Structure 1
Amino acid sequence: MSTFFNFAIKDEYRRFAQQGNNLGTLSSLIDWERFRPLLSDLYTNTEGKGGRPNYDVVFMIKLMVLQQLYGLSDPQLEREVYDRLSFRHFLDYPTKIPDASTIWLFRERLIKTGKEELIWTEFQHQIDQKGLTIHRGVIQDASFITADPGHAPADTPRGKDAKTRRSRDGTWAKKGSKSHFGFKLHILMDKEHQLIRRMATTPASVHDSKIDLSRSGETVYRDKGYFGVKPCASMDKTMHRGVRNHPLSTKEKRRNRAINRIRPLVERPFAVMKKVFRAGHVMVTTCARAHIKCLFSCWGYNLKQLQTLKRWPV
């Protein structure tokens, strides 16, 4: 990109930003450079012996976040970065833009090396350093992330025994009278600041109570789906559920109402990710690929929430 063109596009963005651009403030909420040491060994062809240069790892992480914020496929992301001033500004005006295949390969490399968990942990450290630590109360819940089941019969092998890419890790699960195919996103949210602090992704058939994201010293609020399973948290605020021949007592109903005044806060992140980010359906077939998409959706939600917290009165 020429110096003149670079100046012109930045000047154009300044005039655009005067009309209001929330995306423009998201980039300044965290220190992106702190992710660079964690990803320094992501590529091995750094000896300068030829070949196409690698894209900057911090730039690629920003690209992953941007993709989930706007619910874009890899080809759509490539086109939108070329087209939109706000995207260019968020990405610090790149001189070159990766194609869809490069974006897909970078995400695969993160999965293969396990780096996505390292950068998520660093993100959480930065949240703590802003004084937004977990005081005590946390809320855990789970929601379906659907995927395409394909046309394979019910008895078609899945997982490692799958013979086609459409029958890998996604599973069927039923909630009420409705069946869902795909995966399940489990999150644990800080009650005070409403930030997602821990998350996990499983096949849809894994019951909510099988995943415990709470830790000792915390008070965890959970719905009736977790009833009967003790969490790691020091104080268990799980809603009681009536069972055969043992209906809920008046005291248990009163306790449930008290918990239910707090627990629904966790529905907001799912609503934002599914309705705003359009992340409730994934076009992937493995749990690892679904997980990294969910991780960057949670990352995007946290950025939006940090932006909201800046406007809250101190």
Structure 2
Amino acid sequence: MMKPNLFAAQEREAKLTKLGDALQVLERHVDFAALANGVDTAAPRPGRERGGRPPFPTEVMVRILLIQQLFNLSDEQMEFQLLDRLSFQRFAGLRDSSQIPDRTTIWTFKERLIKAGASESVFEAVNRQLARHGYIARGGQMIDASIVQAPKQSLNKEEKSLVVDQNAMPADWSPPKRRQKDLDARWTKKHGKSYFGYKLSVNADKRCKLIRKIKISTASEHDTLHFEDLLDPANTSRDVYADKGYVNYKREERLAGQGYRMHIQRKGSKDKPISEAQQRRNRRIASPRARVEHVFAGMAQLGGKMLRSIGLARATLQLNWKAAAYNLRRLCYLKEAKFSAF
């Protein structure tokens, strides 16, 4: 028969730390109060004029949303795990609290950010923190895009004509049905396979593989439309790496006049294949450019290839928080590995 132990909780926490709690590594290197201040500046906390229970501190909610992105949890699963999991309670500062944010509280916090136009606030706050740690953008910039799939929509021919062609909603849809229909996501094809959802375009610095800029759009928008929006003038190098999807000779000439050194792979056609010199150039670019694929692989590990949300506004919020979570995890790796460049 096992004997009760008054110090069982403390002993379990100590053993958890000894075994290696990734969230405690985040605790060592990240200033969460600064992240919360950035969010509050962009989306002020609601007033108490109407009374009711005071909202949870913004820092607690920031920590919870980062856990959600790191472990790819739905709002419902996040509520359950906060009630059940010791490491999550400790990281969120809820170990001794009788109140735990439920799924509605988490959803309401996200809606507050969306309505305030503050979806990018945490990503920007994380990047300011990277700079304070000394991880400025350097070594050149890598630009690429990835499709992020959303829940597929079933539309008949008339509904598709209204939604896709006229950007309108059928009048006979009930309110519950409207809430479940994604009117922003679009279909696209890649390598002969169809995908429904959105597109995440990123700029990652070549030296540290940290995400510096992002752009979220519908999947049907071509990658090259956002190329210039993603350029980062703060990068210490003017080298820009991209794959064949970004070829645009006029733009390259214009950007070269601004001091950028363009390293974009060339593509041929059936009637006009690329020359041997262009093939050698493509091979030289391939290795440094491929480093951006490591970034997308890291995002995929966090569940960054699939959305649970509906609509461009919520997709923008989720992918900004996903990119912020990736950068924080990458920061911890660089700090713990004592990255040789710093």
Matches within 5 A, 1:230-249: 230=251, 234-243=260-269, 245-249=271-275
Q: Is the 8 A contact 1:152 1:167 kept in 2?
A: no
Aligned equivalent of 2:44, options 20, 42, 45: 42
Matches within 5 A, 1:80-119: 80-93=81-94, 95=97, 96-119=99-122
Q: Which has the higher contact order (CA 8 A, sep 6+)?
A: 2
Q: Which has the larger radius of gyration?
A: 2
Q: Which blocks of at least 5 consecutive residues in structure 1 are unaligned?
A: 1-6
Partner of 1:302: 327
Identity %: 31
> In structure 2, what is the Cα distance between the partners aligned to 1:206 and 1:248?
26
Partner of 1:32: 32
Instruction: Give the TM-score normalised by structure 1.
Output: 0.90
> In structure 2, what is the Cα distance between the partners aligned to 1:83 and 1:42?
31
Partner of 2:142: 139
Q: Deviations over 1:112-166 (max 9, x none)?
A: 1122323322211111121111124011111111012221135243375234342
Secondary structure of the residue that 1:200 maps to in structure 2? Answer: strand
What's the offset of the Cα at 1:299? Answer: 1.4
Q: Deviations over 1:178-200 (max 9, x none)?
A: 00001111111110001111111
Instruction: Give the TM-score normalised by structure 2.
Output: 0.83
Q: Deviations over 1:62-96 (max 9, x none)?
A: 11111011111001000001111111122123522
> In structure 2, what is the Cα distance between the partners aligned to 1:201 and 1:29?
28
Partner of 1:266: 292
Q: Is the 8 A contact 1:158 1:167 kept in 2?
A: no
Q: Is the 8 A contact 1:156 1:167 kept in 2?
A: no
Aligned-residue RMSD, C-alpha: 2.2
Residues 167 and 36 of structure 1, relative CA distance in 2, 3 Å threshold: closer
> In structure 1, what is the Cα distance between the partners aligned to 2:30 and 2:20?
20
Q: Which blocks of at least 5 consecutive residues in structure 2 are unaligned?
A: 1-6, 171-177
Matches within 5 A, 1:1-314: 9-38=9-38, 39=40, 42-46=44-48, 50-93=51-94, 95=97, 96-153=99-156, 155-158=160-163, 161-163=168-170, 164=178, 165-212=180-227, 213-216=230-233, 218-228=238-248, 230=251, 234-243=260-269, 245-274=271-300, 276-310=301-335, 311-314=337-340
Deviates more, 1:202-211 or 1:278-287: 278-287
| Paired positions, count | 307
Q: Deviations over 1:247-299 (max 9, x none)?
A: 2122211111011011111112222222x222311122211111111111111
